[in-house]
Chain A
Amino acid sequence: MFLPAARAAVLLAIALAAQDFAVGAEFDRRGQPPLMDEHGFAATSDEFSIVAVPQDDHLKLLVERFGEARAITKANIEIHAANKQASVTEVGDGVYRASDAWLLEPGKKALAVTIRADDMRDVLVIVFDPAQGGGEANRRAPKYGPRQEQPEQ
Chain B
Amino acid sequence: MKQAVRCCALLCLLSATLSFAHPDWYLARLKPPNGGQLRNAGNFHMELVVGASEIRLYVSDHFFNKFPTKASSATAVLVSGDQIMRVALEPGGDNLLKASGTFPQDTNLKIAILLEAYRYGPIAARFTPFQKLNESAPPAQRIEPAQTGEALPEPPASIR
Residues of A near any B CB (own CB < 8 A): 1, 4-5, 7-9, 11-12, 14-16, 18-19, 21-26, 28, 30, 45, 78, 80-83, 85, 108-112, 114, 116, 121-127
Contacts and interface: CB of A to CB of B under 8 A. Distances in A.
Nearest to A10: B9
B112 A127 contact: no
A45 B128 CA distance: 10
B71 interface: no
A27 to B, nearest CB: 10
Contact of B16 (A9, A22, A111, A114): A22
B114 A125 contact: yes
Given A12-B8, A22-B19, A82-B88, 11 more contacts: A12-B12, A15-B16, A22-B16, A24-B21, A25-B41, A80-B86, A112-B77, A116-B82, A122-B79, A125-B112, A127-B124
Interface residues of B, number: 49
Contacts of A25: 21-25, 27, 39-41
Given A22-B21, A122-B110, A123-B112, A11 B2 contact: no
Nearest to B75: A82
Contacts of B84: 78, 114
B115 interface: yes
B112 A11 contact: no
A65 to B, nearest CB: 16
A114 B73 contact: no
11 contacts: A8-B9, A14-B13, A21-B16, A22-B21, A24-B23, A26-B41, A81-B114, A82-B116, A110-B114, A111-B114, A114-B79
